[in-house]
């Protein structure tokens, strides 16, 4: 598994890398970084590096350890190489960069999980996946292309679909919902003096806190 970090580049980032335009998102576009040694952190750092003078960016970069969201998913990033027209990949898709460094099998599995969870969250299907290649003809994601044979891409899409079918991807419980349920549990807790029952209510409340990304509380 991987950590999901949010580390947005500032709106003032040079070369218009975060234009702040709202995205009409209908697609997820998949890329490889085309850099065999860079990690997700390296790619995030490059977006705000003083040595970087190109107008190119992406939403999320993922490696074998973490996914970093670099631009808010409701804003445009420049990753599809097809301009800024209304129907361009840049204006209509969320760009995911898959790192080539580290344990690539783990990275690929992480990426499939990330993409599957994003599709589930949006009630989308794998029909909404695109390669960078589909927008501009660039050989990207290059590690899924073996001299014109895109079976690596087909396998990736199948892996995403399998994760969606197997229910491996479940929506995370929202903290507000968890805390509302915990309020009901508290009422049940207060209505009993049986120690075992109270202990069980505490345990359930902590399970809800964990499931929603909140720290458990001591009993
Ligand atoms: Zn690309």
Q: For 71-105, how does the pLDDT look when each residue is reduced to its tens digit (9 = 90+)?
A: 999 999 999 999 999 999 999 999 999 999 999 99
Do 204 and 127 share a domain, yes or no?
no
Is residue 113 a part of any domain in this protein?
yes
In-domain check, residue 52: yes
Rounded to the nearest angstrom, the distance between the alpha carbon of 79 and the centre of ligand 1 is 6
Q: Is the pLDDT of residue 172 over 70?
A: no
pLDDT band, very low/low/confident/very high, at 28 (cuts 50, 70, 90): very high
Is 85 inside a domain boundary? yes
**93 C-alpha vs ligand 1 centroid, how far in Å?**
12
179 & 160 share domain = no
* 100 and 190 share one domain: no
Q: Roughly what angle, to the nearest 10 degrees, separates helices 175-190 and 195-211?
A: 180
Could you list the residue range(s) of the whole structural domain that residue 196 is in? 175-211
The tally of domains found in the chain comes to 2
CA 99/CA 61 separation, integer angstroms = 7
170 is a domain residue: no
- The verdict on 121 and 30 lying in the same domain is yes
Mean pLDDT, rounded, for 39-54? 97
96 and 33 within one domain = yes
Judged against a pLDDT cut of 70, whether residue 170 lies above it is answered with no
Q: How far is the CA of 135 from the centre of ligand 1 (A)?
A: 10
Tell me the CA distances in angstroms from 107 to 40, 77, 102, 110, one per residue in order: 10, 22, 8, 5
Q: What is the DSSP letter of 95?
A: E
Rounded to the nearest angstrom, the distance between the alpha carbon of 92 and the centre of ligand 1 is 15
Q: How far is the CA of 179 from the centre of ligand 1 (A)?
A: 41
Same domain, 49 and 115: yes
The residues whose Cβ lies within 5 A of ligand 1, an ion, are: 31, 132, 140
Q: How far is the CA of 16 from the centre of ligand 1 (A)?
A: 18
């Amino acid at each position: 598994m991987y950590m999901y970090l949010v580390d947005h580049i500032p709106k003032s980032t040079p070369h218009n890398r975060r234009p702040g335009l709202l995205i009409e998102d209908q697609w997820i576009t998949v890329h490889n970084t085309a850099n065999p040694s860079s990690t997700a952190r390296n790619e995030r750092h490059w977006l705000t590096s003083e040595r970087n003078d190109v107008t190119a960016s992406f939403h999320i970069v993922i490696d074998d350890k973490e996914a970093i969201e670099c631009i808010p998913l409701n804003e445009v990033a420049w990753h599809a190489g097809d301009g800024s027209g209304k129907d361009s990949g840049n204006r209509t898709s969320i760009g995911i960069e898959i790192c080539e460094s580290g344990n690539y099998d783990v990275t690929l599995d992480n990426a499939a999980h990330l993409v599957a969870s994003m599709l589930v969250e949006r009630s989308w299907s794998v029909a909404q996946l695109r390669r960078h290649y589909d927008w501009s003809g660039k050989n990207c994601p290059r590690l899924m292309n073996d001299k014109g044979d895109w079976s690596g891409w087909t396998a990736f899409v199948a892996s995403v679909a399998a994760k969606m079918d197997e229910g491996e991807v479940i929506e995370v419980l929202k903290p507000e919902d968890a805390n509302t349920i915990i309020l009901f549990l508290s009422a049940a807790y207060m209505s009993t003096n049986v120690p075992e029952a109270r202990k069980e209510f505490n345990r359930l409340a902590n399970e809800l806190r964990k499931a929603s990304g909140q720290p458990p509380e001591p009993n």
